Amino acid sequence: MHTEDWPSTAEEALAVQERLRDRVELADDCPELPPTVTGLDVAYDDNDGIAAAVVTLETAGLTVVEQRTHRAKAVFPYEPGLFAFRELPPLLAALDRLERTPDVLVCDGHGLAHPRRFGLACHVGVLTGLPAFGVGKTRLVGTHAAPASARGAAEPLVDGGEVVGAVVRTQDGVKPVYVSAGHRIDLAHACRLTLALTPRYRLPETTRQADRLSRTALR
């Protein structure tokens, strides 16, 4: 799907989600420890402008390999559960500017942990064909028990009787994050990579770097 075909109404967007979600691949073919990880994030200004940032890090040392940004105006209204339609056009443009194809995409948001099981991580995975998963700061759907306080503790995130993600404690005593598979990676693998990307802080280094870059791009 190209941006010129992008939905402009909630009804059109819902139809796209229904059509594309059957293309999500849940079989895991992502390397256990991929050579690189690419974080995606966006920042907004007060005039509906968006700065998208993608940052590729070496997985082993979490050093920046490559980074790109793209600024644009939002082409879709603010609608809960449809954020991907605001964020994906500039994110896809930024991804297109990378010289190296990402090994796996780490989204600041959700994958299967979405009302229609098609969050940002699923959407970008299907459109790019790349492995992708989401690490959300807050819960969008489902219920869960509180994970133990130690780093690495996790509990299933359940919605409608289905496990759609995991609630993972990335640092001792800090608020957990919400991990969900998006495309071509399973939940357990996504949780392992999330912990590999959070050696010091609550959020993955991919998200931290992409967030910082997107905010700088707005200036």
Name residues whose C-beta falls within 8 Å of residue 28's C-beta, 6 or more positions apart in sequence: 184, 185, 186, 189
H or E, element range at 14: helix 10-20
**Is 41 annotated as ligand-binding?**
yes
Return the ∠ at Cα 69 (arms to 76 and 38), rounded to 5°: 100
Amino acid present at 200: R
Distance of CA 30 to the CA centre of its chain: 16
Token pair listed for 94: 């930024």
Give the number of other Cβ atoms within 10 Å of residue 161's Cβ: 5
H or E segment and range at residue 72: strand 64-73
**Is residue 116 classed as helix, strand or coil in its secondary structure?**
coil
Place of tokens 């392992």: 192
Consult the annotation and say whether 108 binds a ligand.
yes
H or E segment to which residue 212 belongs: helix 205-217
Six token digits for residue 147? 């994970």
Annotated binding-site positions for Mg(2+):
41, 108
Annotated binding-site positions:
41, 108
